Amino acid sequence: ILGGFSMGGGMAMHLAYRFHQDLAGVFALSSFLNKDSAVYQALKKDESVLPELFQCHGTADELVLYSWGEETNKMLKSLGVSTSLHTFPNLNHELSRTEIEKLRTWIVKKLPVESTKAN
């Protein structure tokens, strides 16, 4: 799994959808891709199975507008990415406990459980 907050989420989407599509998933918190992103261009040419996107965004974000994150989600979905967008009313460009808990739950579901090895 690869992910990040703000520009880190944008970088994660670039890495995952352009170069490392064998990931279990991608998360992007308060992040977006620009309208002419190279990610969109790459996905238009690609027909492979793509990692799922877990996205969170606050509606009060004044640095990375909610509408930008929403547009990114819709565009990626239209290009074959399985996406989920979790909206947080009144959340600015920051993390919330609820957001982190939702992310943790998603990560635990995505990653296989390692069996304990006897020494």
Annotated catalytic, 57? no
Annotated catalytic, 46? no
Q: Could you say which of 30, 31, 37, 61 is catalytic?
A: 61
Q: What is the DSSP letter of 87?
A: E
Q: Could you say which of 6, 46, 86, 96 is catalytic?
A: 6
Annotated catalytic, 61? yes
Burial of 44 (0-12, 13-18, 19+ CB in 10 A): exposed
Q: In the sheet where 52-58 sits, what is the strand order?
A: 2-5, 25-29, 52-58, 83-88
Q: Could you say which of 14, 86, 93, 96 is catalytic?
A: 93
**Annotated active-site positions, please?**
6, 61, 93
